[in-house]
Amino acid sequence: MTLSNIQNIVHSNNNMISQIFALSCFAVAVNAGLIGLDGGIGLGGGIGLGGGIGLGGVGIGHGVAVAKQVVVDVHTPPKYEFKYGVADGHSGDNKQQSEVRVGDVVKGEYSLQEPDGTIRVVKYTADDHNGFNAVVIRKGHAVHPQVISKVVPVATHGVGIGLGGLGGLGGIGLGGHGLIG
């Protein structure tokens, strides 16, 4: 390897390192908001001078930095209000909810239809002095389906074959009485 080959390698490495350094500085400046990009970045050949750090080929397009100031009002207490409801005759889904917040106090109410036909209403409040408090009210009379029981005869004679079985109930039994009779 000749001296000129070594110089070429050192020069190309310095040029690459300087380009990487310049690009890193540019990325930091963009991230810090010092440079705004809406025109793009152009990369070119560039020249590194000596053994030092050169700006090897970073060109900046027509970018304009626009600072937007966001004002957050921390003194105005939070306030919201919402209300919704569902009444689906096909599925029987019937429910409502409403809630109001003023400052650190939340008040609300929701209701839903239970499977037994009653309507559960929950009224709640929450604040930093009393915590969360809810009152549950059930409206209507519960209607439970009647259980229809039918006596089904069970065969006590027959052929049973058990293979393996559990707890010694296995084996092969042909004819005779089963376990029930």
Instruction: List CB contacts of 73: < 8 A, sequence separation 6 or more.
Output: none
pTM for the structure as a whole: 0.42
Of residues 57, 59, 58, 49, the one with CA closest to residue 14? 49
Sign, Cα dihedral of 167, 171, 175, 176 = negative
Domain residue limits, the chain:
3-60, 79-139
pLDDT in tens, 142-166: 988 788 888 888 777 665 555 555 5
CA distances from 36 to 33, 66, 71 (A): 6, 7, 21
pLDDT in tens, 53-81: 444 454 555 555 566 788 888 888 889 99
